Structure 1
Amino acid sequence: MSTTVTTTTDSTAASFAVSAARSAQLEAQIAERPADFRVLTGDRPTGALHLGHYFGTLANRVRLQRAGVDVFVVIPDYQVITDRDSVGQLSRNVDELLLDYLAAGIDPDTATVFTHSAVPALNQLMLPFLSLVTAAELRRNPTVKAEAEATGERAMSGLLLTYPVHQAADILFCHGNLVPVGRDQLPHVETARLIARRFNERYAGGEVVFAEPDALLTGASVLLGIDGAKMSKSRGNAIELRSTEDETAALIRRAKTDAHRTITYDPVGRPEVASLLLTASMCTGADPVDVADSIGDRGAGALKVLVTEAVNEYFRPLRRRRSDLAGDPGYLRAVLARGNARANEIADDTLGHVRRVMDMTY
């Protein structure tokens, strides 16, 4: 058994190394020819975004957009019910996501923000795509496995099992060729590549209807929530982008640290303290070691004051923009309507091509 585990670990490490090298090449190509790339990314509308989302994905989307990459942002409302029995306050959550996107710098004049449910042709692609993967392949997907385990006694829904195929449809309908992901999301991109390849081979006679998308690895570190676990909407341990300065201060005061008075940056031995230092580093641009040295033996209290000031200073312009945008719900709906219209136009063209190569035009 140890041999099998070692072999699997080595294989995973090798695969990650290949993806990292490819990502470095892609970054160089983006710098030279950004118009060659179309990005697909998005977030489930289950609540407002937090600092982990911002530094992990959102800031990178804005960076790519400003570099000249064509950015598509899906709000996958259908995916809300992959692992829950009700949609909750879905319309409100969609608005909250849209506010976060726009306040962070997503420009609706160049980016395309749309919802799953508003693009029927995208979802119709699920049918041929589902024929290209086996149930065993889907069950091996790490996200499907993790989500199934997290639901406890709840039976896995068909929607959850086919979650990777939904993501493949999101990417391929608009011919996205670049997907920004963390290391744990690489299998989803591999599923999209597999579906693209099999579709071309089985249904299109070798014609490249769908190019195989590339993963663009993000190097952002994971921020911990105030309880010491990974920052998460569902755990209620996150500092949201929409939080007020007083709310931010109250949350950071409750953040878990340790008993050592001297502040040091030690991600392995002192993960909670290190996460706070990293948060300050991301907001100020200073090295986390230097941030720790500036506090010295003044303890966790001084660290939390510094982090609070850094977060509130960094996010003050974003929060101001967000507040202004929240006062104009008509503008938000207009942005979404425009994004949905563009997504529908592209999805209809893609589905039409798919139907032609599959001899389904009647």
Structure 2
Amino acid sequence: MSTLAPSLPSSPPGAPGALGTAAARARSAGLEERIRQDPGRFRVLTGDRPTGRLHLGHYFGTLRNRVRLQDLGAELFVIVADYQVLTDRDVADRLPEHVEELVLDHLAVGVDPERSTVFTHSAVPALNQLLLPFLSLVSVAELQRNPTVKDEIAHSRQSAVSGLMFTYPVHQAADILFCKANLVPVGQDQLPHLEITRTVARRFNDRYGSGGAVFPEPEALLSEAPLLLGTDGTKMSKSRGNAIQLAAGADETARLIRGAKTDSQRHIAYDPADRPEVASLLLLAALCQGRTPEEVAAGIGSAGSAALKRTVTESVNEYLAPIRARRAAYAEDRGYLRRILREGNERARAVADRTLGEVRAAMNADY
């Protein structure tokens, strides 16, 4: 497969724009301080694909951090990436229902549509128009090297990989840059995607900026997402049926935790290396209680796995009770959910139209 224009070299390791993990962690520490000092200077882009209800892994990994940034005063854009469902699924089953469920989960955990913009990918045409000029700035070789794309392709359920899957990092760059987000909360595995976004912004500015920057190079705010395993001891995932959904009732939660994998040792101790399933349950209880896993383990002692699971069940159900109550209240008014999306889509479209106008003017294509 041939590459695109050879005049577009990728950033070498250690270049000013490169985002190595160590450098990203150092920047994140500095970013946290800057956010505390002046949160209003930050515009955050984050979101999810509507492929099912969100679970505790999503909550402790990303959702509560989104609410934290919103409450600090950063401007939050939450994208419901319905177009990106098409990257790894032949049919987008029950998509409208999944979109509403995703909005419900965000409202339930505290995302405030009066302060944050919640919108759907497909409803913002100008955002998607940025994909073509952005693709011209990235080589095929760079897309092929992207480790997240390679992983997505390896785990794809499709018999063949679509072109949309292949261009996923550039599509994500359009998601971030349409609103000129300067802060993106990510896990370590998403750093390659964000580096593509930074590369696109830098190359567009260099080629079309005429000495000025059209786009910021967004910073990565690395999240220290806790490693929560699913109830079967493998990675927590919507598709594996091993996760506790935010929408799950107290009885369902108890059933899932009762069936969670542990081990045969009666004494409960926090040992992530040698006892990962027990450690994950202890961590979950600790996150809900605001304590350390070691403290939770000490309280259980030699009472065994049954006592551990009772502790986890009580902790999770108590923690999720107000979230579930808010979710149930919002679910009673589906018209309200649609109104939130309409208003969020209108705000996102206005931002995207302005950005696309600037892009056309910079490219001398404003006619």
Q: Deviations over 1:291-321 (max 9, x none)?
A: 0111111111100000000000000000000
The Cα shift of 1:147 comes to 1.1
1:242 match: 247
The alpha-carbon deviation at position 152 of structure 1 amounts to 6.3
Rounded to whole Å, the distance in 1 between the matches of 2:231 and 2:251 is 15
The aligned residue for residue 223 of structure 1 is: 228
- Give yes or no for contact 2:89–2:158 (8 Å, CA) kept in 1: no
Deviation at 1:220, TM superposition (A): 2.0
- In the TM superposition, residue 154 of structure 1 has moved relative to its aligned partner by 2.0
Cα deviation for residue 230 of structure 1 reads: 1.0
Q: 1:67 corresponds to which residue?
A: 72
The DSSP-based 3-state class of the residue aligned with 1:74 is strand
Structure 1 residue aligned with 2:256: 251
How far did 1:153 drift?
Answer: 7.0
Confirm or deny: 8 A CA contact 2:49 2:84 kept in the other structure: yes
Letter in 1 for 2:72: A
8 Å Cα contact 2:88-2:157 kept in structure 1: no
* CA offsets 1:264-288 (integer angstroms, 9 cap, x no match): 0001111110000000000001110
More helix by share: 1
1:94 maps to amino acid: V
Secondary structure of 2:268's aligned partner: coil
Residue 104 (structure 1) aligns with: 109
Kept in 1: contact 2:54–2:246 (CA 8 A): yes
CA drift of 1:207 comes to: 2.1
Alignment partner, residue 130 of structure 1: 135
Partner of 2:119, secondary structure, is strand
Q: Which residues of 2 match residues 1-362 of structure 1 at below 5 A?
A: 15-151=20-156, 154-362=159-367
Deviation at 1:235, TM superposition (A): 1.0
Native 8 Å contact 2:89 2:157 kept in 1: no
CA distance in 1 between counterparts of 2:281 and 2:159 reads 35
Deviation of residue 206 (structure 1)?
A: 3.5
Q: Distance in 2 between matches of 1:301 and 1:80?
A: 39
Equivalent in the alignment of 2:7: none
Distance of 1:279 and 1:239 partners within structure 2: 11
In 1, Cα distance between equivalents of 2:158 and 2:76 = 39
2:108, 2:326 within 8 Å by CA — same for their partners in 1? yes
Structure 1: distance between partners of 2:245 and 2:255: 12
The residue type equivalent to 1:46 in the other structure is: T
Shift, 1:210, TM fit: 0.4
Unaligned runs of 5+ residues in structure 1 are 1-7, 9-13
C-alpha distance in structure 1 between counterparts of 2:355 and 2:227, whole Å: 36
Q: How far apart are the structure 2 equivalents of 1:300 and 1:48?
A: 28
For 2:126 and 2:211, the matched residues in 1 are separated by: 23
SS in 1 for 2:209: coil
Q: Which string of whole-angstrom CA distances, capped at 9 and with x for unpartnered residues, describes residues 87-115 of structure 1?
A: 10100000000000001000000000000
Structure 1 CA distance, aligned partners of 2:95 and 2:123?
A: 14
What CA RMSD, in Å, does the superposition of the two structures yield over aligned residues?
1.1
Q: What amino acid is the match of 2:280?
A: S
Report the Cα distance in structure 1 between the residues aligned to 2:298 and 2:252, rounded to whole angstroms. Answer: 27
Q: Deviations over 1:137-166 (max 9, x none)?
A: 112111110111112672211010011111
Tell me how far apart the structure 2 counterparts of residues 91 and 37 of structure 1 sit (CA, whole Å): 31
Report the number of matched residues: 350
Percentage of identical aligned residues? 63
Distance 1:89 1:139 in 2: 32
Aligned to 2:20, what secondary structure does the other structure show? helix
Unmatched tracts of structure 2, length 5 or more: 1-12, 14-18
Q: Distance in 2 between matches of 1:153 and 1:106?
A: 34
Q: Give the TM-score normalised by structure 1.
A: 0.95
Q: Distance in 2 between matches of 1:300 and 1:172?
A: 48
CA distance in 2, matches of 1:332, 1:267: 40
Alpha-carbon distance change, 345 to 153 in structure 1, aligned in 2, over 3 angstroms: closer
CA distance, structure 1, for counterparts of residue 133 and residue 78 of structure 2: 23
In structure 1, C-alpha distance between the alignment counterparts of 2:147 and 2:273, rounded to whole Å? 24
**1:100 aligned partner, one-letter code:** D
